[in-house]
Chains A and B, each alone.
Chain A
Amino acid sequence: MKNIWTIIKKELKRVFTDRRVIFSLFVLPPLTIYLIYGLMGMSAERENERVEEYTSIVYVINSPETIDNNGEVAPGFMDYLVDNKPIKTNLNTADASELEDLRDKLENQEIDLIIEFPSNFETKAINNETLGVNLIYNINRTYSQNAYLNYSSTLQNYETEIAGTRVDLDLLEVFDLSIDPVGDEEKAKGSILGMILPLLLVIYLMAGAMGIGIESIAGEKERGTIATLLVTPIKRSQLAIGKIISIAIIAVLSSIASFLGLLAVLPQFAKIGGEEGAIETASYALIDYGMILGIMLTTVLFFVALIVIVSTYAKSIKEAGTLIMPLYLIVMGAAFFNMFTQNVSKEFINYLIPIYNVVVALKAVFSFDLSITNWLITLGSTIIYTVLLIFLIQKMFRSEKVMFNK
């Protein structure tokens, strides 16, 4: 028993006297969970807030006036909405003749919803006819989808108000709601992919580069094999670039392998989402694949450069593993933070922020909404950051404090 206790004490001492082990065992896991779920929650909340703050532009065609069914009165639709607006709304009425113009505006995302009542709704309602009310919204616009969902419920409540004017309780169904979505279906499918794929791709790219990047330099330092290279006439810069390129090649291959696995499992994602077939039928053009590839290649180089800096600075694989975690968390954070944002960012600045720009650009390309300018900004800025990091790596390779810091 004494021996067992001696062994236990030694093992516990080994763990609790090593700050790195304490960090990776007891600090990192809760931090990771907090960060990932916190950012996911923050992203969802941010999106909700944005949608809630927005004032939807809604047009009502043939808006019903007050319905008076033998003394039983239901308010007109606009009057009903005075106290029952489901969301912040800029309400407008229009004639049926304006429908085509409004549809165009809806497609151009200038307005959010058209509620089309049939003509002479009041009379037909009194005659107990079942009518069709059409909701027209844009499937590519979050605000429009939100307006459609909220006004569907409001219309059902309004239906109950009208039904209350009827004597015959079997005639509670006043109207059928029909929907008429406008917009690009491909884009809608793409936005589903845009939620998941940037996240997975960015994490795979980072993870693919991490293992090999840590091993390649910190591993060589730990084993003493890097010094053998440093006593040859090879320039430190050549050694650094050779390492970076070889790690990048392996990381790209690794991320392609992960990507193929992802493609294989995508149909399952669609089933989980209840939209079977939606994802696999989203079809991208060659230029989209080119854009994705361009982003992947520059990103992997950027990630490799980041990892090489950590790996060069660290004295051992263990230290590099600990130091790399905060970077990994930042990458995951950027990916999760953007997960629930459905609208593709058009702001120039978002395509300049390191790491985040890649997530935003991937999201945009999967949603068929990445302009060549924003693509070039993403690629250009990522390449510039990578070149700066490579300069730093070369400087580190020339520093004896860094290379011989055992």
Chain B
Amino acid sequence: MLKVENITKIYRLSKKQMRLENTNESKKIAANKVSFDVKPGEIFGLLGPNGAGKTTTLRCISTLIKPDEGDVLIGKDRISVIRDDDKARGSLSFLTSELKLEDHFTPNYLFNFFGNLHGLDDETIERNKKKLFEKFGIDEFAEVKVSQLSTGMKQKASIAISLVHDPDIIIFDEPTNGLDVLTARTVTDYLEELRNEGKTIVVSTHIMTLAAKLCDRIGIIIDGKIRKVGSLKEILSETETDDLEDAFFKIFKKAKEEDGGVI
């Protein structure tokens, strides 16, 4: 069980950033009282345009950054700004295309290395490696240096290594970003498999078709605020639309009107 409660994250902008963002405000509220929960065996999709606050929210959940307000609850343990983040990281996995593997090493070496960092014994590492390498077809290039792998191979290796500790909660930022169709399909199929195993999964995406197809429930985030949460059916019904893209634009337009912004 993952519960996100009123997460707020404010970034201070440098003068250069203010210029780039075309704003006079020296603060940017990247996440504004974001709340949602995800049950085991469920894929929750955080859908929003670029800069909506998806990655910030996921980074807060994965303890990479601390929210200014709000808490994240995992199972019975409450992780807050003052809690021991190191332990929390042991039960979750954060995957993003931003996370890279060191070029100089092989997937096999890195899998063992990260397994050791998670405190796993050799037997568990080997067992998990066999399962994940087989699933993603990594065996063929397990001993090839990362620098010599294609983007798809790197992403597969990266996913496998992130799951080395068989976490209960998987947080995936833009899971198919930069992947070819075949690799993207392997990844989404595996996420469904993990859901069926009872894992708690959160993905962020700006791709409507992916959200519609993969996610059991969707949270639409715009300008740091969650504007709508529900299953695809519920969102379509509430917005009186036929597909997610139409629903999204309707919600987006309403959000901008509420915030007094420009569409």
Contact = CB atoms under 8 A, between A and B. Distances in A.
Contacts of B100: 223-225, 227-228
A233 B64 contact: no
A231 B90 contact: no
Counting chain B CB atoms within 10 Å of each CB, the highest count among A220, A227, A230, A233 belongs to A233
Contacts of B29: none
A231 B62 CA distance: 7
Interface stretch (B113-121, B214-222, B236-244, B246-254): B113-121
Interface string A160-199: 0000000000000000000000000000000000000000
A228 B87 CA distance: 16
Nearest to B158: A228
Interface string B119-147: 10000000000000000000000000000
Contact of B65 (A220, A225, A233, A404): A404
B86 interface: yes
Contacts, number: 53
B183 to A, nearest CB: 19
Contact of B93 (A220, A223, A231): A231
A228 B86 contact: no
21 contacts: A220-B102, A223-B103, A224-B100, A225-B102, A227-B100, A228-B100, A228-B114, A228-B158, A229-B117, A231-B62, A231-B93, A232-B114, A232-B118, A233-B86, A233-B87, A233-B89, A234-B86, A235-B86, A400-B66, A404-B59, A404-B65
B44 interface: no
A231 B118 contact: no
Contacts of A400: 64-66
Nearest to B62: A231
Interface of B: 59, 62-66, 86-87, 89-90, 93-94, 96, 98-103, 114, 117-119, 158, 161-162
Nearest to A234: B117
B64 A230 contact: yes
A234 B114 CA distance: 10
Contacts of A404: 59, 64-65
Contacts of B93: 231
6 tightest A-B contacts by CB? A224-B100, A233-B90, A232-B117, A400-B65, A228-B99, A233-B89
Nearest to B87: A233
Nearest to A401: B12
Interface string A229-249: 111111100000000000000
B229 to A, nearest CB: 26
A231 B118 CA distance: 10
Interface in A199-232: 220, 223-225, 227-232
B160 to A, nearest CB: 13
Contacts of B101: 225, 228
B102 to A, nearest CB: 5
B233 to A, nearest CB: 34
A223 B102 contact: yes
Contacts of A235: 86
Contact of A231 (B66, B87, B94, B119): B94
Contacts of B158: 228
Contacts of B98: 224, 227
Contacts of A220: 102
A228 B96 CA distance: 9
A279 B63 CA distance: 59
Contacts of A232: 89, 114, 117-118
A90 to B, nearest CB: 65
Nearest to A232: B117
A231 B89 contact: yes
Given A225-B100, A231-B62, 8 more contacts: A224-B98, A225-B102, A228-B100, A231-B94, A233-B90, A233-B117, A400-B64, A404-B59
A42 to B, nearest CB: 39
B157 to A, nearest CB: 11
B62 A233 contact: no
A225 B146 CA distance: 12
A61 B54 CA distance: 93
A234 B113 CA distance: 12
Nearest to A237: B86
Nearest to B105: A225
Given A232-B89, A233-B90, A235-B86, A227 B117 contact: no
Nearest to B92: A231
A54 B71 CA distance: 72
Contacts of B119: 233
Contacts of A225: 99-102
Contacts of A234: 86, 117
Given A232-B89, A233-B90, A400-B66, A227 B99 contact: yes
A151 B233 CA distance: 106
B86 A227 contact: no
Contacts of A224: 98-100
B85 to A, nearest CB: 9
A229 B116 CA distance: 12
A231 B64 contact: yes
A229 B114 CA distance: 8
B125 to A, nearest CB: 13
A403 to B, nearest CB: 8
Contacts of B87: 233
